[in-house]
Amino acid sequence: EKTAVRLTPGDYVDIKATDKKAQVLFISSMQLDEPIAWGGPIVMNTKEELNKAFDDLKKGTFIKKTISY
């Protein structure tokens, strides 16, 4: 239930059918070679960014209408 897994080259996923419903979402991307700070549903590059993201989430400002690069 609500599990995220990071696979590396050579890893594989084996899914077996049961009588229960399951939803599976696979996302693939190029490796960015950046640091990862993972906290529950939020992934950032640093612990500081992660803390700010959770602060923004609590304040209701986490979702941005525009993105600046």
Q: What is the pLDDT of residues 29-48, one digit of tens each?
A: 888 899 999 998 899 999 99
Instruction: Tell whether 55 is covered by a domain.
Output: yes
Instruction: Tell whether 46 is covered by a domain.
Output: yes
Instruction: Assign residue 2 a region (left: φ > 0; alpha: ψ between -120 and 50; beta: otherwise).
Output: left
Question: Is the confidence at residue 2, as pLDDT, over 80?
Answer: no
Instruction: Tell whether 16 is covered by a domain.
Output: no
Q: pTM for the complete prediction?
A: 0.56
Q: Which of 13-17, 24-28, 53-57 tops mean pLDDT?
A: 53-57
* Domain extent at residue 46: 35-63
Q: How many domains is the chain partitioned into structurally?
A: 1
Instruction: Tell whether 2 is covered by a domain.
Output: no
Sign of the C-alpha dihedral computed for residues 18, 27, 38 and 30 taken in this order: positive
Instruction: Tell whether 8 is covered by a domain.
Output: no
Instruction: Tell whether 48 is covered by a domain.
Output: yes
Instruction: Tell whether 29 is covered by a domain.
Output: no
Which of residues 40 and 69 earns the better pLDDT score? 40
Instruction: Tell whether 19 is covered by a domain.
Output: no
